Amino acid sequence: MLPYEIRAATLGDEEQMLRVARHLNSVNLPHDRDEIHEIVSLSHKSFTGEIKDPRLRQYVFVLVDRAKEHIVGTSMIIAQLGRRGAPYIYFDVLDEERYSATIDRHFHHTLLRIGYSYDGPTEIGGLVIMPEYRRASDRLGTAISYVRFLYLAAHRDLFQQEVLAELMPPLEPDGTSHLWEALGRRFTALSYGEADRLSKKNKEFIKGLFPEGAIHATLMPEDAQKVIGKTGLQTRGVEKLLRRIGFRYAHRVDPFDGGPHYTARMDEISLIADTKRTRADRPFSPTAGDRKGILAIEMPEPPFFRAVLGNLREGPRGVAVDDEAWESLNLHHSSPLIVLPIE
């Protein structure tokens, strides 16, 4: 049996997910027991179809160390950002040039203009892996990240055509956002953490208190200007991955901290194009030259979705799978299979 698997988060995972969330503590995966319970419940109802409107669903995947029975990583898909009562809110990042012939002075300015969408994109987020499991040779980080695209490809009709990834900007060690201190706090009288938590439940205060029209970043302190649209050290690897598979900087940023938004259409994402539904052909003993991939199955009962990293070969009746992956997924000849080959 393989040492790791990815599955859907299930009821009962809350305490272990809370432990993982401590390493990110973001809006999507906060280090808060009540909110983690709500996230797991929402995911459970999404996988079961209990939430009838697919736009309201949120799917959480967990990476499990099977020997320890510990959750060591997470990722998620939010089916749609931006609905009535809960818009997708962002700053458009605009460029402006000014020149005076009288004094022969030329300036380049960055402007921020708040935007709202009530029919927004699907978001991928909540990507966390425990530090001790970040070994590149195991490719566990790749697997828990890529599995979201496999799921999007297998259920394209449940998601929006535009996919969004919001990256963390440079923050101070204590979590301070220079952009928030220069802008958001002045218009809300809230700390960055308070505003971040409140926005998860209610975004009305942003629309009610943030300034409309273009804001000249030139008027802000230099440390606030420098973080607009910039990726923090901890997420530069994610940025590199996103660019490689088809995402581009959308010239939009988070209105709180200036973190960049990367977007792509479904048909532009290489991992979605590479994913296919097929059948399990047969098990085989792997060799050094075999191609690797994420192999996934779905089921009507918990955990609803399971995936492993394994070796694969094209077979006459589908995809042949290495012995360990075959056993781990409890496959049979012609079992339905979702496959995403990876380099």
% the chain with pLDDT above 90: 77
pTM more than 0.85: yes
Same domain membership, residue 46 and residue 18: yes
280 and 140 belong to one structural domain? no
Domain that holds residue 324: 272-342
- 171 versus 64: the higher-pLDDT residue is 64
CATH of the domain at 280: 2.40.40.20
The percent of residues above 70 in pLDDT, for the chain, comes to: 99
Question: For the chain, what is the mean pLDDT?
Answer: 93
- 96 found inside a domain: no
pLDDT digits (tens, 9 = 90+) for 93-132: 999 999 999 999 999 999 999 999 999 999 999 898 888 8
Q: Is pLDDT above 90 for 176?
A: no
pLDDT of residue 137: 67
Domain limit, last residue, from 236, 271, 306: 271
Q: Is the pLDDT of residue 25 over 70?
A: no
CATH number at residue 256: 3.40.630.30
Give residue-wise pLDDT tens across range 5-22.
Answer: 999 999 999 999 999 888
User: DSSP secondary-structure letter at 218?
Assistant: G
- Report how many helices (DSSP H) and strands (DSSP E) the chain contains, helices first: 11, 15
Q: Alpha carbon of 42 to those of 29, 36, 60: distances in Å?
A: 13, 10, 9
Preceding peptide of 170 cis, ω within 30°: no
Q: Are residues 169 and 296 in the same domain?
A: no
As a whole number, mean pLDDT of residues 175-180 equals: 90
Specify the pLDDT at position 136.
Answer: 62
Residue 122, token pair as written in the block? 């699907």
